Amino acid sequence: MSSAQLIFPNLDGLVSHVSRIRRGGGTIVFTNGVFDLFHLGHLDSLRRAKAEGDFLVVGVNSDESVRRLKGPGRPILPLDQRMRVVAAIEFVSAVTPFDTDTPAELIKAVAPDVLVKGGQYDIPDIVGHDVVQARGGRVLSLPLLTGYSSTGLIEKIKERFAGEQA
């Protein structure tokens, strides 16, 4: 089995796999997001996160978590589809869901060497920064590609097709 494109529906399997990678000397990188209506901004962020280490773990918000964070109309795509799209990206090593509003517990369990989020966050505001830094890890807030967001795509679709019948 390739180390790329692994979907871990439960935390135990992921933690076991990450432990093997770490024992082999690999650097574990973690990032997370909703990844609804996957776009170029997502792709760029994942590529740059992977450049920070050997094994990129991506946490994906569950459908319930997305609804709590973004409202009743989201997500557009269900969790299984969002996870499969992220897992298909060649530089993503593992994908796992989380049902909480933040990935704090997931970050504690994975114990990444590098935690990466988009540039809209200052490092002290990144969930898990304290856990990663306490272990001697790095926390990065990488600039986002401007003009790309799932919310922006949804608005563009609504504007373009306003008034049309399905």
The predicted structure's pLDDT at residue 5 = 58
Q: Give per-residue pLDDT as tens, 21-50.
A: 999 999 999 999 999 989 999 999 999 999
Long-range Cβ contact pairs of 80-85 (< 8 A, separation 24 or more) = 82/34, 82/35, 82/36, 82/38, 83/7, 84/7, 85/35, 85/38
Residues 116, 49: contact at Cβ < 8 Å?
yes
Q: What is the dihedral of CA 98, 46, 142, 70, to 10 degrees?
A: -40
The predicted structure's pLDDT at residue 1 = 37
Amino acid at residue number 157: I
- Domains of the chain: residue spans and CATH: 6-160 (3.40.50.620)
Collapsed DSSP state (helix, strand, coil) of residue 141: strand
